Amino acid sequence: MMATARQPKWIAMLLLALVIATVFVALSAWQFDASRSEHTYDHDTEEAVELTEVYEPVRPIGLDVADRIVNLRGEFVEDTQVMIADRLQDGEDGYWAVAAFRVAGSPDGQVIPVVRGWSENYDDAGPPPQGQLELQGRLLPTEAPGPGPRELPVGVLPTLSVAELINLWGEDSYSGFVVDFSEEAIGASSTLEPVWVGPQPEDSEINWQNLFYAIEWIVFAAFAFYMWWRLVKDDHIRQQEEARLDREWEEQWRAEQLAKLQAARATNTETKDQA
């Protein structure tokens, strides 16, 4: 089969298959790049801005406000504190103390969940400070509700889900939450430790349709070589068949010629004997 593949026409076909496969691989690379979309911020997340100027209640957190450090004024709503389980602080497992903070300047007096601080135990956080406060912290999107059923103490939740807190508090709320960095939310008599949350890594999404197309182009590239190999194999089989038929025809012709020669000799011998 190698002798067939080395024929000029099949070498030319191989070069053509290589060109086609190269085009297909290039298209695959383009589709693969198109399948990944990076989420990048067009603002400095560490430059503090006023919460009420960049973010509205109910609206989901978009890239324009994601991870920003915000300033907000207002006061904590009494009897709204909950503890969020499974929060690490310096490698130790504990709880976040979260309470509803009524934002001054919000359209209809909406609240926003504020992470006051971290505690190793869920029952010694102490109540939020009273009165008007000025806070500064990072604005983050809501977490998904925790799975149920739950085996947690009363007042302890598995995740910081704003939707769940709205039902629990009976208050209209922003759809995100703030992790306080100012330490004003801790209060003078609380044993809570401050919480620091850095900017979240820029994530990426995968467009599965483009990814499928990328794989499809690779398959097409492999198919180009397969078609070349199949055509060479078919030509090799055809040449073998033609060579076999040629041998059989030659053997049959020789047999017929030998038979004719033997018949002629027999006739000559018989004629001599009669003479």
pLDDT tier for residue 69 given thresholds of 50, 70 and 90: very high
Task: Determine the pLDDT at residue 43.
Answer: 58
pLDDT tens digit string along 230-246? 888 888 888 888 878 77
Other beta carbons within 10 Å of 117: 24
Task: Determine the pLDDT at residue 275.
Answer: 58
pTM of the model: 0.60
Comparing CA positions, the residue from 195, 204, 53, 63 lying closest to residue 138 is 195
pLDDT tens digit string along 44-61? 678 889 999 999 988 888
The pLDDT > 90 percentage for the chain reads 41
pLDDT tens digit string along 131-186? 999 999 999 999 988 776 667 888 899 999 999 999 999 999 999 999 999 999 99
- Give mean pLDDT, residues 67-96: 95
Task: Determine the pLDDT at residue 150.
Answer: 67
Structure tokens at 102: 């009524």
